[in-house]
Amino acid sequence: MSEDFILNAEARDDLGKGASRRLRRLEAKVPAIVYGGKQKKPMSIAISQKELTKHLESEAFFSHIIELKVGDKSEDVILKDLQRHPAKGYTMHADFLRVSKTHKLQTSVPLHFLNEDTCKGVKLQGGKIVHNMVQLEVSCLPANLPEFIEVDLADAELGQVVHISDLKLPKGVTSVALSHGADHDLPVVAVNKPKGAAVDDAEEAGESEEGEA
């Protein structure tokens, strides 16, 4: 993990939709909640819209341990959910999950696809890359949480499908889907034949047969 994220917040007890609207409109703050952890109750907090927006510009913020400071106390959390305004895009609410250094957590990590345009299936065979997923749910200790997982397509050929089991996960990181059995080994990315190619091939075959006749 290459970045350290610190997020400042303040506890709030003025709850409800009306209070949340006032918080966003008059104080430029985002209502949020922190939950999880043994013997700890959920806590409602408020975060500076400007500070949160700046952090959200970094992809790593979505899959990184965050030091959340509330008053003179701090705790480790991950961003679990984010609600944005459907039209204007600003953050309306955020959910943070407490994490422990000694307990595994489950969260989604972004996938970074490498060599998509230069792989054999695309460059030499005219295939098209199709993504079935862009993030993977993993289980690991907080110290092993990766910012992203690389999917190298350098050797991918036309018609090839890369499944979860084909990914090289970092040490200490496991796929949540695969923990449920082999039938959950879902496709991640594929090199497909472009649309219309099958029709063209069929037409060529037909013309060849007519010529021979």
Instruction: Give the CATH number for residue 69.
Output: 2.40.240.10
Residue 154 has pLDDT above 50, yes or no: yes
Tell me, yes or no, whether 208 lies in a domain: no
In this prediction, residue 197 carries a pLDDT of 58
* Mean pLDDT (whole number) for 111-119: 95
Residue 57 phi, psi dihedral angles, 5° rounding:
-70, -20
- 32-51 pLDDT per residue, tens: 999 987 778 999 999 999 99
Domain ends where: 69, 99, 129? 99
The Cα 9–Cα 83 span in angstroms is: 18
Tell me, yes or no, whether 40 lies in a domain: yes
Handedness of CA 66, 110, 96, 57 (dihedral sign): positive
Tell me, yes or no, whether 83 lies in a domain: yes
Among 29, 36, 46, smallest CA distance to 98 is for 36
Q: Are residues 93 and 12 in the same domain?
A: yes
Please, are residues 92 and 29 in contact by the beta-carbon 8 Å criterion?
no
Q: How confident is the model at residue 1 (pLDDT cuts 50, 70, 90)?
A: very low
Domain ends where: 75, 99, 123? 99
For 123, the token pair is 């460059």
Q: Are residues 178 and 117 in the same domain?
A: yes
User: What are the distances in angstroms from CA 74 to CA 10, 70, 77, 181, 210?
Assistant: 11, 6, 10, 38, 77
Tell me, yes or no, whether 207 lies in a domain: no
Domain ends where: 99, 133, 167? 99
Please, are residues 64 and 1 in contact by the beta-carbon 8 Å criterion?
yes
Instruction: Give the CATH number for residue 133.
Output: 2.170.120.20
Q: Are residues 56 and 16 in the same domain?
A: yes
User: What are the distances in angstroms from CA 49 to CA 8, 78, 80, 113?
Assistant: 11, 18, 17, 31
User: Which has more confidence, 158 or 213?
Assistant: 158
For 206, the token pair is 């037909």
- 53-106 pLDDT per residue, tens: 999 999 899 989 999 999 889 999 999 999 998 988 888 999 999 999 899 999
Please, are residues 33 and 45 in contact by the beta-carbon 8 Å criterion?
yes
User: What are the distances in angstroms from CA 109 to CA 38, 45, 162, 181, 203?
Assistant: 25, 25, 17, 20, 44
Segments forming the whole domain that contains residue 134: 106-198
Lowest mean pLDDT among 34-43, 120-129, 154-163, 178-187: 34-43
Q: Are residues 27 and 87 in the same domain?
A: yes
Tell me, yes or no, whether 116 lies in a domain: yes
Number of independent structural domains in the chain = 2
Residue 212 has pLDDT above 80, yes or no: no
